[in-house]
């Protein structure tokens, strides 16, 4: 049996602001994100294993993504650590779920961050093959392991 890729889609809502940007995304705004996670591996061959024939149980993949991405970013506001604290500290509970990251929170940077978070949690028999993060219905960023080795 050969190697197989499996993909699961996840959805979450998140707001961000692009600090020092010269377009409309410099204003706080939100998106309905879709994240497609593709892992590769060999299906289980041991007939006594309850995961027989699976590369990964989709429920196990869901648990990993929920813990590393969804719980942290869903309904959160994500901003760059470059934003001066006084620009947002007065908003109080309106941005109670604030994620300050060490990068500009573009779709491109977020997909790279997500890849690193997910790779740390995958079982050793699996590889993260690719991620696709849809920011809108017509705009997305992709990350491929083959481009980053």
Confidence of residue 90 (pLDDT cuts 50, 70, 90): low
Question: Any idea which residues carry the catalytic annotation?
Answer: 25, 75, 135
Task: Give percent of the chain above pLDDT 70.
Answer: 93
34 compared with 92, residue with greater pLDDT: 34
Contact 131, 111 (CB under 8 A): yes
Residue 108: burial class (beta carbons within 10 Å; 0-12, 13-18, 19+): middle
Q: How far apart are CA 99 and CA 9, in angstroms?
A: 22
**CATH fold for domain 4-147:** Tetrahydropterin Synthase; Chain A (3.30.479)
- Read off the tokens for 105: 């929170």
Q: Indicate if the pLDDT at residue 91 is higher than 90.
A: no
Report the predicted TM-score, pTM, of the whole model to 2 decimal places. Answer: 0.93
> Over 90: is that where the pLDDT of 53 sits?
yes
Best CA proximity match to 11, nearest among 77, 75, 84? 75
**Is a pLDDT exceeding 80 seen at residue 116?**
yes
Position 95 confidence tier, pLDDT thresholds 50, 70, 90: confident
Percent of all residues in the chain with a pLDDT value above 90, rounded to a whole number: 83
Q: How confident is the model at residue 87 (pLDDT cuts 50, 70, 90)?
A: low
Place of tokens 């994240």: 35
Question: Do 80 and 90 form a contact (C-beta atoms < 8 A)?
Answer: no
Residue 14 has a pLDDT of 97
On whether the CB atoms of residues 142 and 132 are closer than 8 A, the answer is yes
Q: How far apart are CA 54 and CA 71, in angstroms?
A: 26
Q: Which residue has the higher pLDDT, 102 or 90?
A: 102
d(CA 40, CA 131): 12
d(CA 16, CA 33) in angstroms, rounded, equals: 12
| Whole-number average pLDDT of the chain | 93
1: tokens are 């049996």
Identify the CA nearest to 83 among candidates 14, 135, 141, 27.
27
């Amino acid at each position: 049996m050969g190697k197989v890729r499996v993909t699961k889609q996840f959805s979450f809502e998140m707001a961000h602001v692009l600090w020092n940007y010269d377009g409309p995304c410099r204003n706080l705004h939100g998106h309905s994100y879709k994240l497609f996670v593709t892992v590769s591996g060999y299906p289980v061959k041991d007939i006594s294993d309850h995961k027989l024939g699976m590369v990964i149980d989709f429920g196990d993949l869901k648990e990993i993504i929920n813990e590393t991405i969804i719980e942290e970013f869903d309904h959160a506001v994500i901003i760059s650590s470059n934003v001066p604290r006084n620009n947002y500290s007065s908003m109080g509970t309106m941005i109670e779920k604030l994620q300050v990251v060490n990068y500009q929170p573009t779709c491109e940077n977020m997909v790279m961050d997500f890849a690193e978070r997910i790779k740390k949690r995958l079982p050793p028999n699996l590889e993260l093959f690719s991620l696709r993060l849809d920011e809108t219905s017509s705009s997305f960023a992709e990350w491929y392991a083959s481009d980053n080795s």
